[in-house]
Amino acid sequence: MIPELGQFALVLAAVVALMQSTVPLVGAAQGNSRWMSLGSHAAVGQCLLILLAFAILAYEHIVSDFTVENVFQNSFAAMPLLYKITGVWGNHEGSMLLWVMILSIYGMLIALFGNNLPRGLKARVLAVQGMIGLGFLAFILATSDPFNRLIDPPADGQGLNPLLQDPGLAFHPPFLYLGYVGFSVAFSFAVAALIEGRVDPAWARWVRPWTLVAWSALTLGVAMGSWWAYYTLGWGGWWGWDPVENASLMPWLAGTALLHSAIVVEKRDALKSWTILLAILTFSLSLIGTFLVRSGLTTSVHSFALDPRRGIFVLGLLIAATGGALILYAIRAPSLKIGGLFQPISREGGLVLNNLILTTMCATVFIGTLFPTFMSAMGKTISVGPPYFNFCCQVLTPFLAIGLGVGAMLPWKRADLPGVLSRLKFAAAISVVVAIAVYYLHNGGPVLAIPAMMLAVWLVASAVTEIAERIRLFAIPFSHSMARAVSLPRAAWGMTLAHAGLGIAIAGMTGTALWTQERIQAMAPGESVELAGYQVQLKSVGPVEGPNYDAERATFIVTDTGHYVATLSAERRVVHPQETSVTNIGIRTNFFADIYAVVGESDPGKPGAYVTRLYYHPLVPWIWVGSVIMVLGGIVSLTDRRLRIGAPLRRLANIPEALPAE
């Protein structure tokens, strides 16, 4: 009975979404305020219904009700409670439910906190949100019903995919979806603005915080995904250019561009139609990400849904959303008023450069990811591997990083480039010195490491220079500088943090890409190998038993010229009931480098020996430390007074609504 209640809630939510997507739109066109306000009520109602459905599915998973097919296929009575809960979205049906749930939460937040929005804009935004919700609810009900029952319920479930039984991956999808789906708000605002034919700084002030929320969540989601790949998959890497990873990177790149171009709309009333286009593209790329994972068009560890019917449905949604929005764009965008003009060398110019580079990166990833897949589906095979992506990123990132340091210092409208450059000479000198010092401390390595480290240091140093100039550090007494620092807009601190975080992450990527050491060998207990100056000894290998797995555990002792450093334990687990083997990696980190140990199968050629892989990864933790700092930057920026209060908006809301431009 309870699962049927969940299904009923979903059907009802679809009906409410249908109302939400039509009535407010008509109301806004005719100036009928009652019809417009229905949008808010419907958004709240839709959200509560979907929350109920999700709670019911979670309950079914927690109590292990195997009469529900979804629970049977993805749960297992003896599984730890944490994974029973995260198993709710560790499968196709549940993750789609999570998707619409997050969408409807965003819709509800717009309804509840959007009181200072112009009524017509709010009604239209909610209507577009309703349309997206309706599309995905229809998708769930038609092809992916999570509440499907089994006529002949089995005694126990099949268990959650062992790879997903991991805290890193368990919380990766919610953040990823918080990001993907968060861009729907920017999309809805863009479409609403096209319907109204009007984009103004107030519009951008509204879009910015939502984009920031989505961007911060997506940054965290992508970082968690790569962290998970690093410490569970056991191949020693952290980013494989796997289509599903790329699917999350593309909206991130486009969303980063959107975040920056929206600033230009807000501050200078320029780049309007470009920002609208970016908002449409960013959400479309999020939809493509969903499509890639859900359609099974790519073969990768993430793709657990292999059903072409679903693929065609999501493709239909993608065509309707993106195609519809782009047609609207083609019709309405030319009539948008062109805003403030600026010189090429100016803050606006810098942000345009940022947008050009980020969208170029996004396009190269898009081409590299999608075309090979579809070529092979048509019977041809071309291979685009990590070398292509690495090459493109290595070519583009320097421009991005150099431009970023300079651009952040430029004033609006027109700038004095030589002046700015001379203010940055200190940052430039530091990056050269530090890069060369690091290179020698590391006893050499590829020469490419010097320019790469220079870029990383440059990003941090220029971000610090920028904030130091703002608070006039050393130019005025220190206490005055501190007072300035406190009163500086939070958005400024957010920018500094995010930019410095990117620098730290790039340092981590460089370190692990260029200085990694790897030893693969057959080792019998008692033997040692040398790794980056450490002695790693395989102490013992023995069986251990976990809650739902049996494992062989290898214990390694790491010493540095006779001094004990760490004990690592790596396992090779066979998880029940699927009998899948999973590696569990031993990692020892000291924040500057990781020692990483994987134990493989016993070696047939050498009695009593096991194949072991040992890695030394310099700076790798910085990738995630940097990402978290970027996320913190986003959060700090979100707490900016300007975004919280929206003071200018309230005044705007009282003006009678302006007529559409056409």
580-584 and 610-618: which strand pairing?
Answer: unpaired
Q: Considering the rule CB under 8 A, would residue 326 count as an interface residue with another protein?
A: yes
User: Which of 383, 654 has the CB closer to another protein?
Assistant: 383
Cα atoms found within 13 Å of the Cα of residue 591, Cβ hemisphere only: 3
- Burial (CB < 10 A; 0-12, 13-18, 19+), residue 113, is exposed
Q: Considering the rule CB under 8 A, would residue 543 count as an interface residue with another protein?
A: no
Q: Considering the rule CB under 8 A, would residue 327 count as an interface residue with another protein?
A: yes
Q: Which residue has 């990873």 as its token pair?
A: 245
Nearest-CA neighbor of 86 among 224, 226, 290? Answer: 224
From 311, 350, 508, 634, residue interacting with another protein (rule: CB under 8 A): 311
Q: Considering the rule CB under 8 A, would residue 334 count as an interface residue with another protein?
A: yes
Site for another protein in 601-620 (CB under 8 A): 601
DSSP string computed for 573-632? EEETTTTEEEEE-EEEE-SSEEEEEEEEEEPTTSTT-EEEEEEEEETTHHHHHHHHHHHH
Minimum Å distance from CB 320 to another protein?
A: 11
Minimum Å distance from CB 607 to another protein?
A: 16
Q: Considering the rule CB under 8 A, would residue 385 count as an interface residue with another protein?
A: no
User: Which of 251, 621 has the CB closer to another protein?
Assistant: 251
Which residue stretch of 99-107, 203-211, 273-281, 408-416 sits at the interface with another protein (rule: CB under 8 A)?
273-281
Site for another protein in 364-383 (CB under 8 A): 370, 374, 376-379, 381
From 153, 323, 419, 542, residue interacting with another protein (rule: CB under 8 A): 323
Other beta carbons within 10 angstroms of residue 563's beta carbon come to 8
Quote the radius of gyration of the chain (alpha carbons, Å): 27
Provide φ and ψ at 199, rounded to 5°: -130, 125
The alpha-helical segments, DSSP class H, found in 197-307 are 201-232, 243-268, 272-295
Q: Residues with Cβ < 8 Å from 115, sequence gap 6 or more?
A: none
Q: How far apart are CA 289 and CA 392, in angstroms?
A: 21
517-523 and 534-545: which strand pairing?
Answer: unpaired
Minimum Å distance from CB 310 to another protein?
A: 11
Minimum Å distance from CB 34 to another protein?
A: 35
From 57, 101, 250, 297, residue interacting with another protein (rule: CB under 8 A): 297
Minimum Å distance from CB 173 to another protein?
A: 23
Q: Considering the rule CB under 8 A, would residue 287 count as an interface residue with another protein?
A: no
Locate 231 and state its tokens.
């410490």
334: DSSP letter: G
Provide φ and ψ at 77, rounded to 5°: -55, -35
User: Which of 299, 540 has the CB closer to another protein?
Assistant: 299
Q: Considering the rule CB under 8 A, would residue 279 count as an interface residue with another protein?
A: no
25-44 footprint of another protein as x/- string (CB under 8 A): --------------------
User: Which of 151, 378 has the CB closer to another protein?
Assistant: 378
Q: Considering the rule CB under 8 A, would residue 299 count as an interface residue with another protein?
A: yes
Q: Considering the rule CB under 8 A, would residue 498 count as an interface residue with another protein?
A: no
Q: Which residue has 């790569």 as its token pair?
A: 226
Locate 476 and state its tokens.
């005025």
Q: Considering the rule CB under 8 A, would residue 433 count as an interface residue with another protein?
A: no
From 78, 312, 436, 647, residue interacting with another protein (rule: CB under 8 A): 312
User: Is residue 14 within 8 Å of residue 64, measured between CB atoms?
Assistant: no
Minimum Å distance from CB 376 to another protein?
A: 6
User: Which of 76, 622 has the CB closer to another protein?
Assistant: 76
Minimum Å distance from CB 377 to another protein?
A: 4
The number of residues that bind another protein (CB under 8 A) is: 31
| Torsion angle in degrees (nearest 10) through CA of 22, 27, 33, 36 | 20
User: Which of 330, 437 has the CB closer to another protein?
Assistant: 330
Q: Considering the rule CB under 8 A, would residue 273 count as an interface residue with another protein?
A: yes
Minimum Å distance from CB 292 to another protein?
A: 11
From 83, 329, 615, 624, residue interacting with another protein (rule: CB under 8 A): 329
Instruction: Give CA angle at 383 (382, 384), nearest 5°.
Output: 125
Question: Cα separations (Å) of 88 from 4, 63, 147, 227, 295?
Answer: 17, 12, 12, 22, 19
Which residue stretch of 263-271, 290-298, 400-408, 545-553 sits at the interface with another protein (rule: CB under 8 A)?
290-298
From 101, 277, 435, 643, residue interacting with another protein (rule: CB under 8 A): 277
User: Is residue 239 within 8 Å of residue 223, measured between CB atoms?
Assistant: no
Minimum Å distance from CB 62 to another protein?
A: 27
Q: How far apart are CA 201 and CA 476, in angstroms?
A: 34
Q: Considering the rule CB under 8 A, would residue 333 count as an interface residue with another protein?
A: yes
User: Which of 356, 485 has the CB closer to another protein?
Assistant: 356
Site for another protein in 340-359 (CB under 8 A): none
Taking each helix axis from N to C end, the angle separating 201-232 and 621-638, rounded to the nearest 10 degrees, works out to 160
Q: Which residue has 């390694």 as its token pair?
A: 556
Which residue stretch of 25-33, 119-127, 251-259, 272-280 sits at the interface with another protein (rule: CB under 8 A)?
272-280
In the complex, the residues that contact another protein under the rule CB under 8 A are 273, 277, 280-281, 295-297, 299, 306, 308, 311-312, 315, 319, 322-323, 326-327, 329-330, 333-334, 370, 374, 376-379, 381, 579, 601
